[in-house]
Amino acid sequence: MKFTCQKSDLYEVLPNVAKAASAKTPMEALAAIRLSASGQNLELTGYDLELGIRTAIPAVVEEEGVLLADSRLFSELVRRMPDGILQIETDDHLKITMQGGGTECQLAGMRADEYPDLPDIEQTQGAVIPQNLLKNMINQTIYAVSLDETRPIFTGELLEMENDALNIVALDNYRMALRTEPLPGQEAMKFVVPSKALREIEHLLGEDEKNEHPCVIRLDQHHASFEVQRYVVYTRLLAGEFINYRRSIPDHSKTEVLIGRRELIESLERCALLISEKNKTAVRFQFEEGKVLISCQNVIGSVDDTLSCDMTGEKLVIGFNNRYLLEAVRAIQGDRVRLFLTAADRAVKVMEEQGENSIAIIMPVQVRR
């Protein structure tokens, strides 16, 4: 293999591709990046059998070839090479030599024979989604993904296309985040994507406000690919039944509150100072006409806040897990958030001031009345 390319081109894509190389693996090949020089391109692939990222950069290829290079060391060496043209070649012993400016670096490469193939998606379904829309929808829901590996299906998010709308849902036993956006002209489909892949996709997605390069999704029964900018992200899908999340959405309320988002976040952050693994104290909310008393008290100290709010309906005292409420309120946009409550032991709906596109559901916890 022998080629030249711009160092800046190569370094720009390397950290992104490297994210799909496995940091901890007994299989050395999975810790590597696959470099393939052919035609007028250098193709780069990272793949840990769950998540794969592939891209290509322009290169002047003198001798075609395929080879693996340690992902971390190769990325770091490229980063530290002088700017400008980089010449990379390998010898019969798989030694990789990089040259540029007055600098020459060598490191050992590996044969690519045993590198796993990326999933060959025999497309049965597909969708096209504006980049900024998908980015925003992932960003506003992914906090609610479960970390509990014993129920794998909930460690991912449901992407659901139906009735000319896209729904993205994350949930566990105690809370749910749901984002809905109209997206006409797509075929109906449902699939659950691991959160690790979604975080990488979110990271690669750009603004693309004119929607000139939408994200193209292809999927078969077990895998999906997301074409994002110049990258293709491959992920396995999570198998199993995602419960009927719509049933968890409360359909009525006895108390409705509009409250300043910034003030609520600040109050919850104050309470967080008293809360730890050891002192998992709930935050108590007492909703009254025109105000809410927020309090948290344990052996460390206490916080008592009074925030003004618009309330309609019945007075109510209710408790929350501080982190669950904080993450939901942070993910909601706008100056004020709307809370729909029915009783101290019933799920609470958190939404934007207007509209129903962004919904968080949180189960309350017990506090003294």
* Pairwise CA distance, residues 324 & 307, whole Å: 19
For residues 163 and 308, which CB has a smaller minimum distance to a second copy in the complex? 308
Other beta carbons within 10 angstroms of residue 241's beta carbon come to 7
Smallest gap from residue 313 Cβ to a second copy (A): 22
Other beta carbons within 10 angstroms of residue 114's beta carbon come to 11
Q: Contact, 165 vs 183, CB < 8 A?
A: yes
Give residue 57's identity as a one-letter amino acid code.
Answer: I
Closest by alpha carbon to 355, among 331, 335, 338, 330? 338
Smallest gap from residue 76 Cβ to a second copy (A): 5
* Pairwise CA distance, residues 120 & 118, whole Å: 6
Smallest gap from residue 43 Cβ to a second copy (A): 23
Smallest gap from residue 309 Cβ to a second copy (A): 11
Smallest gap from residue 73 Cβ to a second copy (A): 7
Closest by alpha carbon to 361, among 181, 207, 173, 217? 173
CA angle 324, 328, 331 (to 5 degrees): 145
Q: Residue 156, class by beta-carbon neighbours within 10 Å (0-12 exposed, 13-18 middle, 19+ buried)? A: buried
Q: Contact, 286 vs 293, CB < 8 A?
A: yes
For residues 74 and 324, which CB has a smaller minimum distance to a second copy in the complex? 74
Smallest gap from residue 285 Cβ to a second copy (A): 14
Other beta carbons within 10 angstroms of residue 369's beta carbon come to 9
Smallest gap from residue 139 Cβ to a second copy (A): 25
Could you give the dihedral angle defined by the CA atoms of residues 53, 56, 62 and 64, in that order, rounded to the nearest 10 degrees? Answer: 40
Smallest gap from residue 176 Cβ to a second copy (A): 28
Q: Contact, 197 vs 233, CB < 8 A?
A: yes
For a second copy, the binding residues (CB under 8 A) are: 73, 76-77, 80-82, 102-108, 266-267, 269-270, 273, 300-308
Closest by alpha carbon to 54, among 228, 233, 214, 223? 233
Give residue 219's identity as a one-letter amino acid code.
Answer: L
* Pairwise CA distance, residues 56 & 37, whole Å: 9
Tokens of 319: 């408790």
Residue 254 φ/ψ, nearest 5 degrees: -105, -20
β-sheet bridge partners, residue 243: none
For residues 16 and 267, which CB has a smaller minimum distance to a second copy in the complex? 267
For residues 15 and 206, which CB has a smaller minimum distance to a second copy in the complex? 15
For residues 221 and 306, which CB has a smaller minimum distance to a second copy in the complex? 306
For residues 311 and 347, which CB has a smaller minimum distance to a second copy in the complex? 311
